[in-house]
Structure 1
Amino acid sequence: MAQDSGPTPRSLDHVDQALVHALQITPRASWTRIGAVLGLDAVTVARRWNRLVETGAAWISCHPAPVLAASGQGCLAFVEIDCAPGRLLDVARALAAAPHVVALSHVTGDRDLQLNVMARDPAMLSRWVTHDLATLDGVRAARTHLAGPVHTEGSRWRLRALGRHQVARLAADASRHRTDTPAFVLDELDQRLVTALSVDGRATYRALAEQCGAGPDTVRRRVQRLFAADMLHARCEVARPLSEWPVTVSFWGQVPAARLREVTRRVTGMREVRLCASVISRHNLHLVAWVRSLDDAQRFEVRLAERAADLTVTERAVALWHMKHGGHLLDEEGYRVGVTPLALWREPAASHP
C-alpha cells in the first residue's frame, strides 16, 4: 500500500509536471541527468519524485512490450466480464490479485468489467480463462478477444510540460541506449527480472539482483539487453486527476482489411489515443483514449470519424473506475495504492492437481 507521507496532491506544480514528462521520456535515467535538464540538483529531483510516489500521485511501471508477442513469447487479450448482481467488487478484488491481469476497469455499457490479460501463449490464456476465470464465484459470463498487432500503447504518451530543447536532450540520451538487438528467448532470470521491474520500473540493479538471485553486473547486462531489444517498456504514470485527461473511453470498431494499416497510422497520431490494437474478433480494432471530460469524449469521436472515415465504431464504453493499470492498483480517484507483480509465465492456479 502507499505510504502516508502527507496530503494527497490535487494538482502538479510546473516542476512536478516537468519531472513526470522527463521520466516519461527516460524512465530509468539518473537523477543527476534529469536534474541537469530541469535545472535542479539531483537531491531535489529525487525528493520530489519520492513524494509523488509515496502519495500515489505518480509511479514507474514496466511491462512486456509488443515485440515479445511478435517473437512468439506472449499474447494479449481483452476480456469482458458480466458479474452476478452484487458481486462486482468481489470479482474485481480477485482479478486485481491475478498476475496475468495487467489492467482492470469497471466500465459502462454491455459489460461490467474490462480486462487486459497477458499470457505466455494462447494455450496458457485458455487455461487461465477456463480454470481461474470460469471458476471464479460471481462471474456470470466472459468474452475473450485476442489482440493482434499493438500499434501504439501508453509508454508513448507524454504530459508535454517540457520545452522542445529539454525534450531533445532527454530523447538524445534515450536514443544512445538503443541498439538493433534482436528479440531473444527469455530464460528464467529474464522472467524474474520482468516480474520485479513490473513492481518498480526504476528499481536499481542492486535491488533487482537481491530479488532475482543474480549478481548486479549480470542483472545490469540482462536488463539493458531487454530494453535494447525493445522487449520491455517502462513508463511513468500519473494519477488521472493530475493529468488533465481524467476520462478514459474505449472504442471497438470495424475497418476494411485493406484500409487497416492506413487507419491505424492516422489514429495513432492522435494525442488522446493511449492504445490502438488490432483484434481478432467480431471487431478488428480496439482503441483506448484519454479525454478531458465526458463532453470531450463525444468531440473526440467526431474528430476520430473525420480522421479515419473508414473506421466504423460499433461499441464504446467509459471507465468508471480504473482498478488496476499496468499491474498497479488504484483507488476510486486514480491514485496508486499497491501493486500485483505481473507473471505471464505462471500457470493458472486451478490447473494444478
Structure 2
Amino acid sequence: MAQDSAHFGGLDDVDQALVHALQIAPRASWTTIGATLGLDAVTVARRWHRLAESGAAWISCHPAPALAESGQGCMAFVEVDCAPGRFHQVARALAAVPRVTALSHVSGDRDLYLNVMARNLADLSRWVTRDLAALDGVVSTRTHPAGPVHTEGSRWRLRALDHRQTAQLAAAAPRRTDLPAFDLTDLDQRLITSLSVDGRATYRALAEQCGASPDTVRRRVRRLFDANMLHARCEVARALSEWPVSVIIWGRVPAARLREATRRITGMREVRLCASVLSRHNLHLTAWVRSVDDAQRFEIRLAESSPDLTVTDRAITLLPMKHSGHLLDEAGYRVGTIPLALWPEAGASDDE
C-alpha cells in the first residue's frame, strides 16, 4: 500500500532518468541500471524504493499481444452505464475483479470504461451478460472486442536519457526471438499473476510464491519473455509525467488503409495504445496529453498525421481508478494491486 501521495515532491532529474531506464529494461539489475546512470547500485535501488513506496512509480507485467495471437485469450474494451447514485458502488466492485485490467471514469456517453481479459469470446460473453449485467447498479454495457494490438503502454517512454544510455539499456532488455508462442502451463499462469504485482520480483521470491525451484522459475520466465508472451512495464503516476490527461478515441479507417494509418498513429509520442476493434468502430486508441486543451490539439495533429481516420467518438479520462491491475488514487498514484488472474488450462502440465 502506498503512502500519502501528497507528500511526494515530484521527480527530479535522477528520478526521471531512473524511470526511463526501467521503462527500457524493467528487470535489469541495479548494477546495470546504475552503470548507465553513472550511479552505484545501492543509490539507484534506494531511489527506486522511495518511488515505489510513495506510489509514484511501479513495475508490473501483463500478457502481451502475442498471447492472444496464439489463440490464448482475448481482450475487449467495455463501456458501462451506471444507475444514478450507484457509480461508486459499481466502480469499487469492478476494480476488485482480476480480469478487469484497467478502469476509468470517463466523459461522454458512458460512465465507466474497462479493459477486460477473457479466455475466449464465449468467456467474454458469459462475463458481460451474467456477471457484469447482474451487478447491482449497472444499467447497460457495450463491448468492443480487440483485434490486433499495434502498440501498447510498455513501449511508452519518459525520454530522460540520451541515445547512448538508451542503447546500453536496450542491450539488457529481453529481445523478441524466433521462439514461437506456446501453451501456458499452470506454473506460467502463476508466474504471470505474481509478476503482475511486482515486475521486478526476484526468481527466488517467485519460486517461493509459485511453488517451484528458482532454476525452473528462471527458465519459465525467460521463456515467456523470449517468446514475447509477457511484457514488463514501468509506470509513473500520470501527474508526474507532464502528460496527465488521457484521451480515448474511437475511429474508422478504410480497411485497405488501416496498416498505413496504424503505422502513422503508433509513431506519435502521445499514443499509449492503438488497437483494431471489431464493432461499429474499427480502430481504438488512447493517448496521454499535457492538458484538456491539448486534447483537442492532439486530435488536430492526429487528423494531419492520418487523414484516412474518421473520429467517431472521443472521451477524456476524468478519474483513472485502475491501470494494469494496479489501483490508483485520485492523483494517479498507486495505492494497491489486484493480481491479474488468467484462465486455467485443463490438462496443462508444468513439466518442461
TM-score class normalised by the smaller sequence = over 0.9
Partner of 1:98: 97
Query: Cα distance 1:55–1:73, how it changes in 2: closer, same or farther (>3 A)?
Result: same
Q: Give the conservation status (yes or no) of the 8 Å contact 1:63–1:234.
A: yes
Partner of 2:303: 305
Partner of 2:222: 224
Partner of 1:350: none
Q: Percent identity?
A: 78
Partner of 1:324: 322
Structure 1 SS opposite 2:263: helix
Partner of 1:334: 332
Give the aligned residue type for 1:37. Answer: T
Structure 2 SS opposite 1:173: coil
How do 1:236-255 and structure 2 match up within 5 A?
A: 236-255=234-253
Give the aligned residue type for 1:33. Answer: T
How do 1:194-233 and structure 2 match up within 5 A?
A: 194-233=192-231
The alpha carbon displacement at 1:3 in A equals 4.3
Structure 1 SS opposite 2:212: coil
Partner of 1:76: 75
Partner of 2:289: 291
Deviations 1:142-174 (A, max 9, x none): 111100000000000000001111011111222
The alpha carbon displacement at 1:345 in A equals 0.9
The alpha carbon displacement at 1:131 in A equals 2.0
Give the aligned residue type for 2:113. Answer: Q
How do 1:257-296 and structure 2 match up within 5 A?
A: 257-296=255-294
CA distance in 2: counterparts of 1:77 and 1:157, whole angstroms = 21
Structure 2 SS opposite 1:149: strand
Deviations 1:256-279 (A, max 9, x none): 111111100010000000000000
How do 1:38-49 and structure 2 match up within 5 A?
A: 38-49=37-48
The alpha carbon displacement at 1:7 in A equals 5.9
Give the aligned residue type for 1:167. Answer: T
Partner of 1:2: 2
CA distance in 1: counterparts of 2:105 and 2:9, whole angstroms = 23
Q: Give the conservation status (yes or no) of the 8 Å contact 2:26–2:173.
A: no
Q: Which moved more, 1:47-56 or 1:177-186?
A: 177-186
Q: Give the TM-score taking structure 1 as reference length.
A: 0.96
Deviations 1:199-230 (A, max 9, x none): 11111111111111111100000000000000
The alpha carbon displacement at 1:178 in A equals 4.3
Structure 2 SS opposite 1:222: helix
**Structure 1 gaps, min length 5:** 348-353
Deviations 1:247-306 (A, max 9, x none): 000000011111111100010000000000000000000010100001111111001000
Partner of 1:130: 129
The alpha carbon displacement at 1:344 in A equals 2.6
How do 1:14-93 and structure 2 match up within 5 A?
A: 14-93=13-92
The alpha carbon displacement at 1:180 in A equals 1.8
CA distance in 2: counterparts of 1:42 and 1:52, whole angstroms = 16
Query: Cα distance 1:346–1:141, how it changes in 2: closer, same or farther (>3 A)?
Result: farther
**RMSD value, Cα:** 1.3
Tell me which stretches of 4 or more aligned residues in structure 1 moved more than 6 Å. none
**Structure 2 gaps, min length 5:** 346-352
Deviations 1:178-211 (A, max 9, x none): 4321100001000111111111111111111111
The alpha carbon displacement at 1:10 in A equals 3.8
Structure 2 SS opposite 1:134: helix
CA distance in 2: counterparts of 1:123 and 1:96, whole angstroms = 22
